[in-house]
Amino acid sequence: MQPDLELAAALEEASGALAARLTERHFARWPELAARFGAAGRQRCEEDARFHLRYLAQTFALGIPELFGRYLAWAVPMLASRKVPKTDLRADMEELRALLAEEFPHALAAIDAAMIPALARVESEPEQVALTPLSAAAQAYFEAAQDEGPRAIADFACMREARVLALSASITPHLGALREAIALVRADPRCAGMKVLVGGAAFSGLPALWRSVGADSWAPDAAAAIAEVHRLTS
């Protein structure tokens, strides 16, 4: 699949309206959902739909169909923890595919390339996984990182005249912000010659993804990152 920035942008722009329509169609097709989940469940379903579309948009922006399958594999146990079985997720994805085929008929091949393998993967995923809660320090860092934004990162790195900027992305929607941060670094004359190293769960199993976000290299873990920093600065 080739990157399709136009389709990705169109999905991002229409995500709110598409999520509302998808939720309406889903509840109309399965009226029992209203009794099971109520008004709050309907709102949560629409929020989830926007999240689905954000992942799909990044899949098209980067041209890597496996990203959406990885997302659904993560979504299966997450939704099961909220008492949403994977049969509901599969039905939701089938409805989403039908809606996107109506809205973007010219992009049906790309839609199918991302969604059909992802739907097949749902069937094999367990609905329960062991989760490790964040430590207090990790939670504080996570909240602070969300408040700062991709330009503050670039400004700080340039101000410190860093030789290497290491960035991490844990989930696919973060790749867009990470790519923007790298673009800001590349465009800033203060950062001339700075190398960018990326890692995190969003890159796991996809070692070529770092090229798509504009980085200079990628590392699968902390030890490999240290070795890669030495290589980049030697």
Task: Provide DSSP, 142-192.
Answer: HHHHHHH-HHHHHHHHHHTT-SEEEEE-SSTTHHHHHHHHHHHHHH-GGGT
For residue 152, the model assigns a pLDDT of: 73
Q: Which residue has the higher pLDDT, 24 or 151?
A: 24
For residue 126, the model assigns a pLDDT of: 76
Nearest to 182 by CA among 141, 212, 161, 226: 212
For residue 141, the model assigns a pLDDT of: 46
Nearest to 180 by CA among 204, 142, 214, 146: 214
For residue 140, the model assigns a pLDDT of: 56
pLDDT in tens, 167-178: 888 877 788 888
Q: Which residue has the higher pLDDT, 170 or 8?
A: 8
For residue 13, the model assigns a pLDDT of: 92
Average pLDDT over residues 59-82: 84
Average pLDDT over residues 182-190: 87
Contact 156, 148 (CB under 8 A): no
Nearest to 184 by CA among 167, 207, 203: 167
Percent over 70 (pLDDT), the chain: 90
Chain region(s) in the chain for CATH 1.10.490: 5-124
Average pLDDT over residues 59-65: 88
**29 contact partners, CB below 8 Å, separation of at least 6:** 91, 95
CA-based end-to-end distance of the chain:
35
Rg (Cα) of the chain, in Å, rounded?
Answer: 19
Contact 117, 93 (CB under 8 A): no
Fold of the 5-124 domain? Globin-like (1.10.490)
Most confident of 28-37, 65-74, 78-87, 191-200: 191-200
pLDDT in tens, 107-129: 999 999 999 998 888 887 777 65
Q: How far is it, in rounded angstroms, from Cα 207 to Cα 175?
A: 14
- Which residue intervals of 2-31 are DSSP H helices? 5-29
- Give the chain's mean pLDDT: 84
Tokens of 169: 């992305």
Average pLDDT over residues 81-97: 85
Contact 18, 11 (CB under 8 A): yes
Neighbouring C-beta atoms of residue 156, cutoff 10 Å? 12
Chain region(s) in the chain for CATH 3.40.50.280: 136-233
Its CATH class, for the domain covering 136-233, is alpha beta
Average pLDDT over residues 2-25: 91
